[in-house]
Amino acid sequence: NYPNFFYRLSDIKQTGFQVPMPIVGGKIFISIGEPLYMTHSLDDLGRVGYAGPSVENPADPNFNTEHDAVEFTVDQYGFFVNITQVDHFSIPISFDTYSVSMAKQSAGFTEDRATIYSAYRNAAMPQAFKDLIYTYGGKDIRVVCPSKSATFKAANPTYYDSYVTEVWDYYKTHTCTFTTDVGTFNGTVGYNDVFSFMRTKDGVTDGPWIINGKPNAEEIFEGSGKLCTGSEHDLNVQKFFVAALTRHVAGDTSTWANDAAYYQAGPANFYSKFWHDHGLNGRAYGFAYDDVYDKSSSIVEGNARAMVVKINH
């Protein structure tokens, strides 16, 4: 039922291990005290898949185990790696990547777990976010993101409603203009609260690319629903709004790339804010589109030699 593919850290910490190439969308799972129990299966094309640990299902055999992961891809273009708090935070992990010339890049969390959990409990944020800590047997196991907490979602279904209405009303009479790597978008809110954008690139204007109405709190926390539907360019617009609404900067596009403007008022995703406050160089992956304007903990090394993972338990 559960294949034994975990290693004790004590068995590999001196020599490490060689990562085969290529691996696209890989994960290194790390757990404390016991291995994770995960099943695997084959799809109809014979490809191997797995059922990862769940932080939402108390019946999952890993539910009361501290666990986290390092995500990576290694291919002919380089080594792409990050740690993520998109679903939860459990173990403070940092990592260093090294190029062939031994140039070093670092990301993650260097404080130990007791310091981080204490800081989370004492952070300046609404109590609903502090209640996202899950404990078992008197021990902190993880902090669950808002979109993975049934209790949080049930108690806060309208968390972003007033702010979204404020933003949508503003753009009924003002143009929302922002530029991405696929062009410059200009949009306004029209009939039925549809946010419609035209794109200009290389002197050509096309569109419309839309957000089909006001998103609710769950759609903002998860980057789902109205903020994850439609064409490729619809999605490009929508991910920027996930980020802007999450960071509470949606009403002023001049602040969208400005770290100092983020999370300065509520409603905002204060869970995400905390990880940026404690991550190296202010970087973290606190929500699904934290890579918008390059604020995530991702590192790209085009000429990679090695990665060292540090578990600051």
Does the global pTM surpass 0.75?
A: yes
Residue 203: what residue type? G
pLDDT confidence band for 4 (50 / 70 / 90): confident
Q: Per the structure block, which two tokens stand in for 214? A: 């006001």
- What is the per-residue pLDDT for 97? 96
- Report the C-alpha gap between 92 and 94 in whole angstroms: 7
d(CA 207, CA 217): 27
Interval 45-73 mean pLDDT? 94
Closest CA to 307 of 69, 14, 17, 75: 17
Q: What does DSSP say about strands 176-180 and 139-144: parallel, antiparallel, or unpaired?
A: unpaired
The answer to whether the beta carbons of residues 159 and 129 sit under 8 Å apart is: no
pLDDT in tens, 22-44: 999 999 999 999 999 999 888 89
Q: Is the pLDDT of residue 15 over 90?
A: no
Q: What is the mean pLDDT of residues 49-56?
A: 92
pLDDT band at 18 (very low <50, low <70, confident <90, very high): confident
Give percent of the chain with pLDDT exceeding 70: 100
Q: Facing residues of 306 across strands? A: 98
The mean pLDDT value of the chain amounts to 95
